[in-house]
Amino acid sequence: MLRTLSIRDFVIVDSLDLEFHSGFTVLTGETGAGKSILIDALALALGERGDAAVVRAGCERADISAEFDIQPLPELVQWLRAAELEGDPGLVLLRRVIDKNGRSRAFVNGRPATQGQLREAGEWLVDIHGQHAHQSLLKADAQRVLLDAHAGLAPLAAQVAGAYRQWQKLAQARTEYETHAAQRNAEREQLQWQVQELEQLALQPDEWDAVQAEHTRLAHAAGLIEGVQAALDTLSEADAACLPLLSGVGTRLDALLVYDERLREALELIRSGEAQVQEAAYALRHYADRLELDPQRLAAVEARMQAIHSSARKFRLAPPELPEYLQQLQARLAELEIASNLEVLVKQEQQARTSYFELAAKLGAGRKKAATKLGREVTQAMQRFAMVGGRFEVGLNPCPPEGSVHGAEQVEFLVAANPGVEPRTLAKVASGGELSRISLAIQVITSRAARVPTLIFDEVDAGIGGGVAEIVGRQLKTLGRERQVLCVTHLPQVAAQADQQWSVSKFGIEGRVKTMVSVLDQKARIEEVARMLGGTEITATTRKHAAEMLSLR
């Protein structure tokens, strides 16, 4: 669960350090005080997009850090270990910094990370339901994604999409074969002679450097032989070679040690030099034994270099690039060879089609089961949310015979707001208030199935009130017994049900607006709930009503 949130210079927030608890917590306050800004800051730490606009005016950067308890999340612990982003046992610290130029940096447990890694970690930690979630429910794509996510079918849906794209790719290749056969055959013939020439050349990686080095050595063999022999003469083989002289000097000094031990250091240096000169002489003799004039080999190496140069000029490449270019040509030729065989193409296309429809059928079966369950659960929730007799269904409409990238059916949310009425498309039936209640019911139900330990509802109760609001509060409180629930709300009926209540306010100081968050005790909660009930003028009656609401939670 979320333990702490630290915010610096974010929008109108200059500095906030918040500690969170388990259960159901509400954030209340006047409109515009910055309640949703806190949620936006957390979303940024969880990998959401951000730009320079989030930096507080006149500041260099916005800095947000969020610490989570991850002991109940072994999968996340394993992911952190695999990504080498581990921190203190049982904890993870996510941090996001955005400077005034829009440059973004991300950290996990103090180590540099990518925005994608923040987002991936966040998917285990927090599920945020935004205040405009009910609007997205009107879109078919959002309905399908929600159903698949609720049923745990998202990985299978991704497989279906991949299988569909592969099928369509092969179908397109077959179509192109039928319409562009002549062009493809010309390209294949050109590639064949290019590949044949480069395969005959058989240039190996790094061979060009080796050939150049051998050519240099062979071309200067006479000079090498002469120079090595002169060195050997000077070191050990001439009459006045230095090695015998060093040996003689060492022998003379060795005899003098008996008279003065201080000569030992000089003697040891001479003996060391003598040994190194001896090693050098051995190495030169070994080199000289393998060195010889070889005009035939030199001619062969020069011919090889000429052949490589000729191919490189023909293909307008540097010699070392030829092996990789050959691999590219071979890969493209293999593609054309496959594409040139209509029978093979048709067979592969049929196999891909069969694979797609097998996966799509499996996905469809899972959706059918999930749709029935979700429809029943949302219908039950609608009764509690003052929509007695209403009914919610998830329609699965068959796609055309060729299917789609999202499967063999289209997902459609249907609702009947009143008894005895056939369910119709959500967008055409539900009013604003009804849509808000249905959306909230769906979000509460789908959140129960989610694995994330922290659920955030950002003004999702907009458009409802009265007894329904009290029911919503009770639902969120019940959910808070299983998860950590945070809710931004303007409804006193919801706020009164919370285990903890925070008040968010803003004030001006030295010409700048700042946001403050206060944790409310019982007395302060009565005042805040009374304000939510009665507006700017709080009376004894509204305070009494607020106290009663809080005592009944």
For the CA atoms of 318, 319, 325, 327, what is the dihedral angle to 10 degrees?
Answer: -160
β-bridge mates for residue 516, sequence order: 505
What per-residue string of b and e applies to 37-76 under the rule 16 or more CB within 10 Å gives b? Answer: bbbbbbbbbbbbebeeebbbeeeebbbbbbbbbbeebeeb
Residue 408 has pLDDT above 90, yes or no: yes
pLDDT at 463 exceeding the cut of 80: no
Q: Which amino acid is at 117?
A: Q
CB-based contacts of 416: which residues, under 8 Å, 6+ apart?
A: 390, 391, 422, 423, 424, 429
Q: Which residue has 């709300």 as its token pair?
A: 489
* Nearest of 385, 369, 370, 389 to residue 444 by alpha carbon: 385
Tens of pLDDT, residue by residue over 341-383, are 677 888 999 999 999 999 999 999 999 999 999 999 999 888 8
Q: Among the listed ranges 194-198, 216-220, 431-435, 443-447, which one has the minimum average pLDDT value?
A: 431-435
Cβ distance 197 to 307 under 8 Å? no
Closest CA to 278 of 242, 314, 311, 250: 242
The widest CA-to-CA distance across the chain, in whole angstroms, is 126
pLDDT band at 221 (very low <50, low <70, confident <90, very high): low
pLDDT band at 525 (very low <50, low <70, confident <90, very high): very high
Which has the closest alpha carbon to 478: 497, 460, 496? 497
- pLDDT value for 349: 92
pLDDT average, residue stretch 16-21: 91
**pLDDT at res. 536:** 66
Give 453's pLDDT tier (boundaries 50, 70, 90).
confident
Most confident region among 155-169, 177-191, 205-219, 280-294 by mean pLDDT: 155-169
In angstroms, rounded to a whole number, what is the distance separating the alpha carbons of residues 515 and 378? Answer: 38
Percent of the chain with pLDDT over 70: 90
Share of the chain above pLDDT 90, in %: 30
| pLDDT attached to residue 510 | 65
- Angle among Cα 534, 535, 540 to the nearest 5 degrees reads 40
Tens-place pLDDT, residues 466-481: 778 888 888 888 888 8
What CATH superfamily is the domain 1-129+459-520? Answer: P-loop containing nucleotide triphosphate hydrolases (3.40.50.300)
Q: What mean pLDDT comes out for the span 252-265?
A: 85
Q: Kindly report the average pLDDT of the chain as a whole number.
A: 85
Query: In 526-538, which positions are buried (b, 16+ CB within 10 angstroms) versus exposed (e)?
Result: bebbbbbbbeeeb
Where does residue 491 rank: exposed (0-12), middle (13-18), buried (19+ CB within 10 A)? Answer: buried
Q: Which whole-number Å values give the CA distances from 4 to 66, 344, 505, 520, in the listed order?
A: 6, 60, 19, 17
Write out pLDDT tens, residues 22-40. Answer: 999 999 888 776 788 888 8
The stretches of 66-153 forming alpha helices (DSSP H) are: 74-82, 115-125, 133-136, 140-150
Q: In 198-355, which ranges are E strands?
A: none
What is the per-residue pLDDT for 230? 75
**Poorest-confidence range of 55-64, 107-116, 140-149, 294-303?**
294-303
Find tokens 């062979």 and name the residue.
218
Measured between alpha carbons, how far is 510 from 63 in angstroms, rounded to an integer? 22
- Give per-residue pLDDT as tens, 316-337: 888 888 889 889 988 888 877 7
**How does pLDDT run across 224-253, given as a tens digit for each residue?**
666 766 787 788 777 777 888 888 888 888
Determine the average pLDDT of the residues in 178-194. 79
Taking residues 45-50, what's their average pLDDT? 90
CA distance 450 to 454: 10
Tell me the C-alpha to C-alpha distance, in Å, between residue 364 and each of 156, 173, 367, 425, 442.
10, 28, 5, 20, 21
More confident residue, 8 or 421: 8
At CA 52, angle to CA 47 and CA 55, rounded to 5?
90
Confidence at residue 433, expressed as pLDDT on a 0 to 100 scale: 62
Q: Whose CA is closest to 451, among 17, 239, 149?
A: 149
Query: For the residues 250-266, what does the mean pLDDT come to?
Result: 85
Q: pLDDT digit string (tens) for 496-519?
A: 999 999 998 887 776 677 788 888
- Res. 287 pLDDT band, cuts 50 70 90: confident
The yes-or-no verdict on residue 436 having pLDDT over 80 is no
- Residues whose CB falls within 8 Å of the CB of residue 188, separated by 6 or more in sequence, listed in order: 333, 336, 337, 340
Q: Is 206 helix (H, G, I), strand (E, B) or coil?
A: coil
User: What tokens appear for 345 in the block?
Assistant: 């193409």
* Confidence at residue 99, expressed as pLDDT on a 0 to 100 scale: 93
Tell me the mean pLDDT in the region 424-450.
Answer: 73
Question: Token pair 């022999």 is at which residue?
Answer: 229
User: Environment class of residue 101 by beta-carbon count within 10 Å: exposed (0-12), middle (13-18) or buried (19+)?
Assistant: exposed
Question: Which band of pLDDT confidence, cut at 50, 70 and 90, is reported for residue 44?
Answer: very high
CB 476 within 8 A of CB 149: no
CA distance 69 to 20: 11
pLDDT tens for 50-104 read 889 999 988 999 999 999 999 888 889 999 999 999 989 999 999 999 999 989 9
Domain boundaries, the chain: 1-129+459-520, 132-156+354-452, 207-333
Q: What is the mean pLDDT of residues 453-458?
A: 85
- Cβ–Cβ contacts within 10 Å for residue 241, how many? 16
Buried b (16+ CB within 10 A) or exposed e, 6-26: bbbbbbbbbebebebebbbbb
Give the pair of three-digit tokens for residue 149.
């996510």
- The pLDDT confidence band at residue 222, using thresholds 50, 70 and 90, is low
What mean pLDDT is predicted for residues 282-309?
A: 76
132-156+354-452 and 1-129+459-520 share a CATH fold? no
Q: What is the pTM of this model?
A: 0.59
Q: Is CATH 1.20.1050.90 correct for 132-156+354-452?
A: yes
Amino acid at 279: E
* Three-class secondary structure of residue 244 per DSSP: helix
